[in-house]
Each structure stands twice: as structure tokens, then as C-alpha cells.
Chains A and B, each alone.
Chain A
Amino acid sequence: MTGIVDKVKQVDGAAVTVQRDNRIFVDVSKDKLTGALYSMKLLGFNQLSIMSAVDRIEDGQFEIFYVLYNYKEKVNGVVRTRISRDKAEIETVEKIYTPAHTYERELTEMFGIKVLGNSDSGKPFILENWKGQPPMRKDFDSVGYVNSHYEFRHSAEEETEGKDE
């Protein structure tokens, strides 16, 4: 475990935090992201388990995370970077990790983060004909969306009792 941590610390621009046994968090700036992921792969982090984003709305940023796994060392490495919410775009990493293609497509749909170089970024995926604010953003109004799209339905009990709110 310590051996691999030392190696990860050598990755260009990486700030490494050991969260617990077998879990390392690696923070990099946006411009160093592709290089860092490539270096991680060379260090044996072969598998991309998942990638997605966290909407850090109070900082005006999105935090993009890539959960990687090194089978030989049995260590999960999470690479994180922050991008501005106003100019939400990142470069694709599908050339480094093939499964990223699907996750990036989902990222565009759910967070409205454009993925440059991914041919499917922006094509409808899980949500069909979605218009307006991407739903996973923190400022998306879930209740407002439901109220404007669906009719309010009383429970069967309330209907028989003739109660109305």
C-alpha cells in the first residue's frame, strides 16, 4: 500500500490523500487531468469503476471524479478535479478508459457538462426529450418539475371520503 502511494505522489500535479486502507484520493487541476489519468493507468490502475460529478454549487464548481482500481495492489484510487460551473466542459478520457464513453454521455445529460471529443456527448441517453435544467444539478427544482408536469393525485382513501386539500 505505501509503495503505491509513493508512486501516485509522483504523478504530475497530484495532491494525494489516503482516506483509509486501500482508498486514495488524488486531486489534480483540470489541465493536468488527462495526464494524471494516463499516469495512473501506467501505475496499474487499469479499471475505471465509475466516473461522475458532484455539484459544488456553493463554490460555483463541479467536482468530477473517476474511481479507478488497481487489481495488483488491491487499491482504489479516486482522481478528482474541479471545473467552473459557468464553463462546464471537460476533455474525454475514453481513449484511456473505454467505459468512460458511456459515463461521459450520462454526465452530459444529468449535469449538463459538455465532454469534448466524445461523439455521443449530448445525445439523449436515459432521459428522453429532456429540456431545460439538467436534473442532477443542485439548483434543479425537483418539486417544481413534478408539480408542473404531473397532476396531483389523492390517495384512494381521500377520494372515497371526498376530502380535498
Chain B
Amino acid sequence: MSKSYELFIGPNHPGIPGNFSLHLELEGDTIISAKGDPGYLHRAFEKGMENRLYIQNLALIPRICVPEPDINEAGYSMAIEDLMGVEIPERAKYIRTIVLELARTTAYLLWMGGYAASLGLYTLGQWATGDRDYAIDMFSELTGARVYHMYIWPGGVRRDLPEGWEEEVLGYVKYLRDKLVDYDNLFFKNAMFIHRAKGIAKITQEQALEWGATGPVLKATGIAQDVRKDDPYAAYPYLDFDVPTLTEGDSWARAIVRRFEIDNSLSLIEQAIKKIPKKGPVWTKMPNPFKWYVPAGETYAKVESARGEHGFYMVGDGTGKPYRVSVRGASTPHMFTIAEKLLVGARLADASHILLSLDICPPEIDR
């Protein structure tokens, strides 16, 4: 006779990627039902934005995803630019690309640490957090802030690159590329990782499409869907890259796709620094930020985040404040449509590993 029991993981737990709780029902160590419990990070961003000027919201939106805040600045700015009919200068497009790819790299490094730790390997987390910090130093030099940059804004970017910053970034790219060989030897080629991750939490291509997967979760099932390619923004149309895909659709494939994405990001940074126009404005002159009257209308602007499609549905009403902003994060379908299904039948020891393989960012759910 078996008896089931309940177990809560989170909201404060090392195996949960943020302030989020998971309500599990188990029999032995097999999960028989899983329910996500959000709300611990709800700070009413969408409501708050309706009461603030467009420029004031710039300080609010990066906080929608802590590991990768810049995607929010880019998506939000693109929505305003679209409604106002503003084109950004060429140099700004390249700078945005460099910043977004550097941010993507840091997001993947942080994910890598958490993912490896969920399998019992803590060394990688120490390395990755350290290497992420070098990138954060560069953000600090560029924007004056470590995590929330508020650097990409409507019309372009806030200021031009400091003297010698590009060389520093190229140095970092070279450093990280060398370091990734060690990462591969320690983790991605590690027999323990392969053994634990292969065949776990597998989804088929049809399921991925049906359940609304985007980003690495979808790419790991063989579909090369990527906003940077399909609906290009910033300087992506001028740069050469392939969307990495695998067909396995399991935890291993999702991890390896992200590992390839880091290579992609580093290559994109190098290409952008090589091709960036040496001179020129970085901001299309806009009216006084306190008088940005965005015309009435609706738009949907989207960017590719480290987790998938990240979008802003914005409604302007001709005043200085947005009438409605709705934020689409990749984590909502990844958690509620996918993780809740994948966890059923899994072993308890794999629960955090499965969640991290989907790279769920709770503030994107709570908004």
C-alpha cells in the first residue's frame, strides 16, 4: 500500500531559480503531481508602469529579470520607438547588440552555475560567477551600474562607449573562450552530467510547439526559431550567425544548446566590434524626456532573451504615460505548461535539475 505525501520546494531553496515555490506530491521519491506557486516576487510592474512617465519606467523594467535585465530595456525602448516612429542611429544598433550579447553571456554563465549545482557539481558555479563578474565590471564602466544598467533607452543608447572599452571586451571574449575549454572538460564532457541529463525531461517537437516553448527549450527539439533571425532588431541583420539546434529535446540537449549559444554570443560581440561605424551619433535626438508624448496606438516589440521570446505589448494613448504595458516572458509557459507536466513521473532528485534545464526566471512570471 502506497501513501503519497506533500512537499514544498521553495520559495527559498538552493534548487529553485529564484523566489518561487513548487508544490509537489510524491510517492516514495517519485513525483505524482507538481504545481507552481508564483507571487513571491510580484511588484506590480505592469500596474506601476501605467502610473509613471515613460522615462521613469526605465528604472523599473530592468528588474523584470535579474540575470539578464538588458532585454527589458531593449524591448521597452523598441516598443516606444515603434509607436513614435523613431529610427535609431547605426552606431547605436551595434552598441545595443554588443550589450545584449554580453548580457546574454552573463545570463548563461549564471544559469550554468545553477544547473551544474543542481547535479551536485559546485565548482562550475564558483568559476562561472567569477567570470560573470568580469563582464559586470565592464558594464559598470560603460553604464555606471553593475546589474541594472538603464543604458539602452528610446532613441538609442544613453552615451557613447568609453575610450578603450571595445578592446577590453575583446580581451574578455578571448579570456572566456579559453576558459570555456576548462568548462567543457569539467562539465559538458563529464560522464556524470551526460548520464544524469540524457533522456531526462524529454519533450518532442510537437509538444514543444503545442506547449508554447521558445528559446533553447524549442531549439533543443530541432526548431531554429530565434527572434534575432526571424524578426531582426539592433545590428543582428548585419551579422553572421547560425541558430544552434539539437533534436534530442531532453535536459542534456537544452544544456548543450545553451553552451553553443555562448559561442554564438562571443562571435557576435567580436563581429559587432569589428563592423561598428567608428563615428556617428548614438542617440536620435528626442524631445525632453519629461515630454515624451507617445502617440495613441498598439504595438508588440520582441527580443530574444537567454530563455526565449521576450516581448512588450504596449498601448499608448497620446499622453506621457503608457496606457498599458504587458510583458511576455518565456518563463510563464516554460513553468506552467511545460515544467508541471515534465515533473510528473520524475524522481525528486531531478526536480531542481529539470527546472533549471528550462531556465525559469520567476520575476518574468510575477511581473
Residues in A lying within 8 Å of B, measured CB to CB: 19-20, 22-23, 25, 46-50, 52, 54-55, 65, 67, 69, 71, 74, 76, 78, 97-99, 101-103, 125-128, 135-136, 138, 140, 142
Complex Cα distance A135/B45, Å?
12
Contact with A along B306-350 (1 / 0, CB 8 A): 000101010100000001101010001100110000000000000
Give residues of chain B (189-232) contacting chain A, Cβ–Cβ below 8 Å: 209-212, 214, 223, 225, 230-231
Q: Is the CB of A23 within 8 A of B209?
A: no
Residues of A within 8 A of B323 (CB): 54
- Given A54-B315, A101-B337, A136-B46, is A49 in contact with B332 using a C-beta cutoff of 8 Å? no
Complex Cα distance A138/B321, Å?
13
Beyond A103-B332, A136-B47, list 18 extra A-B contacts (CB 8 Å): A19-B299, A23-B299, A47-B214, A49-B311, A49-B328, A52-B326, A54-B324, A67-B313, A67-B328, A98-B337, A99-B211, A99-B212, A101-B336, A102-B336, A128-B39, A142-B44, A142-B47, A142-B51
Residues of B within 8 A of A102 (CB): 332-333, 336-337
Residues of B within 8 A of A99 (CB): 211-212, 332-333, 336-337
Q: Is the CB of A47 within 8 A of B42?
A: no
Complex Cα distance A116/B39, Å?
24
A-B contact pairs, 30 of them (CB 8 A): A19-B298, A46-B209, A49-B302, A49-B311, A50-B311, A50-B332, A54-B315, A54-B323, A71-B225, A71-B230, A74-B230, A76-B231, A76-B300, A76-B302, A78-B298, A78-B313, A98-B210, A98-B337, A99-B333, A99-B336, A101-B337, A125-B39, A126-B366, A127-B42, A128-B39, A135-B44, A136-B46, A138-B50, A142-B44, A142-B47
Complex Cα distance A69/B214, Å?
11
Most buried by B among A49, A54, A55, A65: A49
Q: Is the CB of B211 within 8 A of A98?
A: yes
Q: Is the CB of B47 within 8 A of A135?
A: yes
Q: Is the CB of A25 within 8 A of B230?
A: no
Closest chain B residue to A55 by CB distance?
B324
Complex Cα distance A102/B332, Å?
8
Q: How many interface residues does chain B have, given as a range?
A: 35 or more
Residues in B lying within 8 Å of A, measured CB to CB: 38-39, 42, 44, 46-47, 50-51, 82, 209-212, 214, 223, 225, 230-231, 297-300, 302, 309, 311, 313, 315, 323-324, 326, 328, 332-333, 336-337, 365-366
Q: Is the CB of A126 within 8 A of B38?
A: yes
Which 9 pairs from chain A and chain B are nearest by CB? A99-B212, A50-B328, A102-B336, A126-B39, A99-B333, A54-B324, A74-B230, A52-B326, A99-B337
Closest chain A residue to B46 by CB distance?
A136
Complex Cα distance A49/B210, Å?
12
Residues of A within 8 A of B214 (CB): 47
Complex Cα distance A99/B332, Å?
8
Residues of B within 8 A of A97 (CB): 212
Complex Cα distance A133/B332, Å?
25
Closest chain B residue to A138 by CB distance?
B50
Partner pick for A127 among B39, B298, B311, B328, CB 8 A cutoff? B39
Whole-angstrom distance between the Cβ of A114 and the nearest chain B Cβ:
19
Whole-angstrom distance between the Cβ of A98 and the nearest chain B Cβ:
6
